[in-house]
Amino acid sequence: MSSRGLAELVLIVEDVPKAARFYEEVVGLTVEHETSDEWAWFWAGRPGEPQRIALHKGSLLFEEHSPLPPGERFGRVHFAFDVARAELDGAVDRVRAAGIKVYGPVDFDWMNARSYYFYDPDGNLLEFWSADPG
């Protein structure tokens, strides 16, 4: 079996509608399905391609098998969004306009990229990553 890339990422959040507003309005993701109190789904790549981020309140399948104690079974995560360099400043400005503290830029010479970091309402560290255009 060959891997074709990430299909989905599910984040455990305290308040799905609040987190959904953040991911739509601040991060700029496109909603895939209507938001409920338990689930929200977003396209993380091009709409229609199998790269999605879900927000969920509650437990997930097989949570009882996690080696971590209840309440800490999934922890906080870090992930990055690939943002075109021409769109990077606008994406960062949108986060700042929402009153969210942005850290960076951080230039990574070894991968010819620039990144900015910020936290979502549930403490997950997000990154806008942008390769140098050339």
Residues 42-65: tens digit of each pLDDT: 998 877 777 888 898 877 766 777
Residue range of the domain that includes 129: 76-134
Looking at the structure, do residues 2 and 44 belong to the same domain, yes or no?
yes
Residue 21 forms part of a structural domain: yes
Residue type, 59: S
DSSP state of 26: I
- Residue 34 domain-assigned? yes
CATH number at residue 134: 3.10.180.10
pTM greater than 0.95? no
Same domain, 80 and 134: yes
Number of separate domains in the chain: 2
Distance CA 83, CA 97 (A): 18
Q: In what order do the strands lie in the sheet with 39-43?
A: 8-12, 52-56, 39-43, 30-33
Q: Are residues 2 and 45 in the same domain?
A: yes
Separation between Cα atoms, residue 29 and residue 11, nearest integer Å: 14
In a domain? residue 117: yes
The reply to whether 98 and 134 lie within a common domain is yes
Cα–Cα distance, 97 to 95 (Å, whole number): 5
Contact, 91 vs 82, CB < 8 A? no
Q: What digits encode the pLDDT tens for the residues 3-43?
A: 456 778 889 898 999 999 999 999 999 999 888 999 999 99
Q: Say whether both 133 and 99 belong to one domain.
A: yes
Half-sphere exposure of 68 (CA within 13 A, CB side): 9
